[in-house]
Structure 1
């Protein structure tokens, strides 16, 4: 079982939302392998939901490019295509800094407390000589979602959640080829501090550097 990477939400969760959230996490972190068939009966039982909420969740996941449905064949987890990195990075290079700037203008907004907790979590991890790659992946994704939420722009948040999910899948798929990413994840400390301190320009600059860093690391090994 994985640690949740979802950002806080004050609204009650429907069964379809519940299924969507849990399945998205499994797909993003490759607990459901790329290309694997989605067995609806088994997943409905595992998640404790009916077939209708599960199918609603799968429709949303298809819009997120995490599953694909073929007529008479069924639904499958999408493959991870590294050639898509260029287009995704182009979007993230424009939108992640924008979200960071807006989050800083809000000083963390409704997720200020959760962002402060992430600084404490990262500080504790920094002193750990044996950081688990899974923890880094989950932490990176969780922080990006929190900053997107802190932008207080629903459309920006929804777009970035999709893009960050796709990038995280690439990261997971390349874990055996890329160098340790602890330094990359620790970059979030300065970024979060800039957000909480209301330093909009600095937050924007740090976010741009963070996205560029990941892009360079991946391109170096493909």
Structure 2
């Protein structure tokens, strides 16, 4: 995939000046002044998402070193967007950087899997409770219903990345419905890792996961906070030990207590 082709299309459609209506008047914006910064930011983001996708799909295996020059050649970008994308990848848990070695793809082990599940319990169980409270107070279920419909559309598509994305979006929708900004911020910090783990464990029964999502939707729709949090807890915890089997990672410790190509090897 060439990222420069996307950037080139943006340049070809570039408009020097744009006039928009605002509050009954006209505001003229010099798009040319803003475009260069926007292009750089856009290319860095495209680079980030493409690198993240390749890591998730295993194109760049866990423990492998990301060689900057080869990545630049593969993606047909300069080293600047790569160097801007790597810190975000590190912040989101996809790579770790080392002096003189550069960026290395992180690996999944028992502690990392448990840490993610434990954090999800902390965020999502409470989010389900608050989402039920919001619905009981009149909040719309549409965003959650739309996310569930999308999951249903892709569950048998054969595209495991799409299935993993749909599952991630559904869990994000639950947190969004809770209406707690701090929860949303915390959730955004781990959705990339959730997407990665969902993809890696795609051998688990997608139908069972979808049924769990339906049950959680129904529990939230009922407005019963305790039922919603119990269903959320059961859904998340049910996948913990099977995830270790799917990843072929040894599982030795007890679950959390219930207390409510450009690569070098």
TM-score, normalisation: structure 1: 0.70
Q: Which residue of 150, 156, 165 maps to 1:138?
A: 165
More strand by share: 2
- Shift in Å at residue 144 of structure 1? 1.8
- Trace 1:34-49 onto structure 2 (pairs within 5 A): 34-41=62-69, 43=71
Distance 1:74 1:141 in 2: 29
- Shift in Å at residue 191 of structure 1? 1.7
Q: Which residue of 168, 171, 176 maps to 1:149?
A: 176
Distance 2:231 2:60 in 1: 33
Q: State the partner residue of 1:120.
A: 149
Q: State the partner residue of 2:238.
A: 213
Distance 1:169 1:122 in 2: 17
SS at match of 1:27: helix
- Gaps of at least 5 residues in structure 2 are 2-37, 251-265
Distance 2:81 2:179 in 1: 28
Deviations 1:155-178 (A, max 9, x none): 323333444433443454455xx5
TM-score, normalisation: structure 2: 0.61
Pair 20,135 (structure 1): closer, same or farther in 2 beyond 3 Å: closer
Whether the aligned pair in 2 keeps the contact of 1:80 and 1:173 (CA below 8 Å) is no
Distance 1:135 1:56 in 2: 26
- Shift in Å at residue 141 of structure 1? 1.7
- Shift in Å at residue 214 of structure 1? 0.7
Pair 110,74 (structure 1): closer, same or farther in 2 beyond 3 Å: farther
1:20 maps onto 2:48 in alignment: yes
Whether the aligned pair in 2 keeps the contact of 1:131 and 1:182 (CA below 8 Å) is no
40-49 or 63-72, larger mean C-alpha shift: 40-49
Measured on the aligned residues, the alpha-carbon RMSD in Å equals 3.7
- Trace 1:1-222 onto structure 2 (pairs within 5 A): 14-15=41-42, 16-41=44-69, 43=71, 51-107=79-135, 113-124=142-153, 133-175=160-202, 179-195=204-220, 198-219=223-244, 222=250
Distance 1:17 1:87 in 2: 27
Deviations 1:52-110 (A, max 9, x none): 44423321221222111111122121122234222332222222111222334444x99
- Shift in Å at residue 188 of structure 1? 0.9
Distance 1:105 1:157 in 2: 16
SS at match of 2:239: helix
Distance 1:62 1:41 in 2: 19
Q: Which has the higher contact order (CA 8 A, sep 6+)?
A: 1
Whether the aligned pair in 1 keeps the contact of 2:144 and 2:177 (CA below 8 Å) is no
- Gaps of at least 5 residues in structure 1 are 2-11
Q: State the partner residue of 2:12.
A: none
